[in-house]
């Protein structure tokens, strides 16, 4: 309403300056000048949002109605009545119950008296002023009710969205907990049974002094134990526990070298970026999948991992050197396909392709 208030003040002041009698310093001219000053102050107070006290607001509303009535009496052809209408409408929307009605009552009395006792002495004009006050009050009350209803509707929508979000989170958590239970009951138990069987087979082989078989069974037993640990970590992830990240890559490389006998190194360039949990997990899982593929498919003489922290993200490469493996064996499996999809969901990229000496997997994730 501020632009409206400025426009009304400008209209009333300009019209009053051109009307007869004009503002001055004597008699009714002085009254018009003082009424214009009160009108301007009243509009400024009504339009201000800095007032905290309802009593202070009532004083400005009353000043606006009174000054408008004085101008209506002294300059009956002017638009000063608009100030009283603005006061009525603003009071209906902003002032609590009785205070708002008091301003309306003041306007209903002051404006008709100004018409009847002023220069025109028009009873019809007084009736029009009454109708204008009532009309502005009713319209303002309807607008206030509409605004309150809209605010309540928006609040209900916000609460509904929060409820839906909470239900969605609860459903996701319930599903993840169900999957965690299934993994624990099926996968972890199966791997635990496999580890026990392999331990028993290793003990039997050691009694027959078959060193090659003992070494193979020890590696298989270690892989089974590693599978149990990975299953436990996956269960922990589903239960919102800490996710693995780049800081665990050296341990992953050391385990790979111990299990396969293939020399493996890792180099880190740059300072560690603050990556979100999904990006950290993508780096770790990509390295894990690439090393698994090397273990299963490649005849590598050595493996090199390089993790580079860049301004916009982090880049990890896993490259094996030795006898090149077919791209269909090392780059087209479901594991790397899943890693590629995981990277793309984060806005990153993953490439997997043969090189002159082996195979290379590279993933980039944004920071």
Say how many C-beta atoms besides its own lie within 10 A of residue 200's C-beta.
12
pLDDT of residue 240: 54
Q: For residue 322, what are the β-bridge partners?
A: 300
CA–CA gap between residue 306 and residue 133 (Å, rounded)? 79
- Residue 316 is predicted with a pLDDT of 95
Distance separating alpha carbons of residues 45 and 1, to the nearest angstrom: 12
CA–CA distance, 114 with 73 (Å, rounded to integer): 5
Report the pLDDT value the prediction gives residue 328, as an integer from 0 to 100: 38
> Per-residue pLDDT tens for 322-331?
865 444 344 4
Structural domains for the chain: 2-121 (no CATH), 245-366 (3.30.565.10)
Question: What pLDDT score does 214 carry?
Answer: 67
Distances (CA, A) of 9 to 39, 81, 103: 8, 11, 20
CA distance 318 to 320: 7
Q: For residues 17 and 173, what is the distance between their CA atoms, to the nearest angstrom?
A: 73
Parts of the chain with a pLDDT under 70: 1-2, 5, 49-52, 120, 172-174, 176-197, 202, 208-210, 212, 214, 216, 219, 221, 223, 225-242, 323-334
Q: Longest Cα pair distance anywhere in the chain, in angstroms?
A: 129
**pLDDT score of 185:** 56
* pLDDT score for 307: 95
pLDDT in tens, 256-276: 888 888 999 999 998 777 788
Instruction: List phi, psi (to 5°) of 238.
Output: -65, -25
pTM of the complete model: 0.42
CB-based burial, 12-25: b 16+ in 10 Å, e otherwise: beeebeebeeebee
């Amino acid at each position: 309403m501020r632009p409206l208030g400025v426009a009304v003040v400008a209209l009333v002041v300009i019209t009053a300056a051109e009307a007869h009698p004009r503002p001055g310093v004597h008699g009714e001219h002085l009254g018009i000048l003082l009424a214009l000053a009160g009108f301007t102050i009243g509009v400024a107070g009504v339009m201000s949002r800095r007032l905290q006290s309802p009593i202070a607001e009532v004083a400005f509303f009353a000043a606006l109605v009174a000054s408008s009535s004085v101008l209506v009496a002294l300059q009956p052809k002017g638009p000063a009545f608009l100030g009283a209408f603005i006061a009525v409408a603003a009071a209906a929307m902003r002032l609590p119950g009785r205070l708002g009605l008091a301003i309306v009552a003041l306007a209903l009395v002051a404006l008709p008296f100004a018409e009847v006792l002023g220069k025109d002495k028009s009873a019809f004009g007084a009736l029009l002023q009454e109708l204008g006050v009532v009309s502005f009050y009713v319209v303002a009350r309807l607008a206030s009710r509409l605004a309150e209803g809209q605010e309540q509707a928006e609040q209900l929508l916000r609460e509904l969205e929060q409820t839906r979000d909470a239900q969605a989170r609860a459903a996701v958590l319930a599903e993840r907990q169900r999957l965690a239970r299934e993994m624990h009951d099926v996968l972890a138990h199966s791997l635990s049974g496999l580890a026990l069987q392999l331990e028993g087979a290793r003990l039997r082989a050691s009694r027959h002094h078959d060193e090659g078989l003992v070494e193979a069974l020890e590696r298989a037993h270690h892989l089974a134990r590693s599978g149990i640990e990975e299953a436990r970590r996956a269960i922990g992830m589903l239960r919102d526990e800490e996710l693995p990240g780049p800081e665990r890559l050296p341990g992953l490389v050391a385990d790979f070298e111990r299990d396969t006998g293939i020399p493996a190194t890792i180099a880190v360039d740059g300072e560690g970026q603050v990556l979100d949990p999904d990006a950290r997990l993508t780096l770790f899982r990509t390295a894990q999948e690439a090393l698994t593929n090397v273990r299963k498919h490649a005849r590598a003489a050595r493996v090199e991992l390089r993790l580079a922290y860049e301004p916009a993200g982090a880049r990890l490469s896993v490259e094996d050197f030795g006898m090149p493996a077919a791209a269909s064996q090392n780059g087209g499996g479901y594991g790397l396909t899943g890693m590629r999809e995981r990277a793309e969901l984060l806005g990153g990229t993953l490439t997997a392709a043969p090189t002159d000496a082996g195979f290379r997997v590279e993933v980039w994730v944004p920071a």
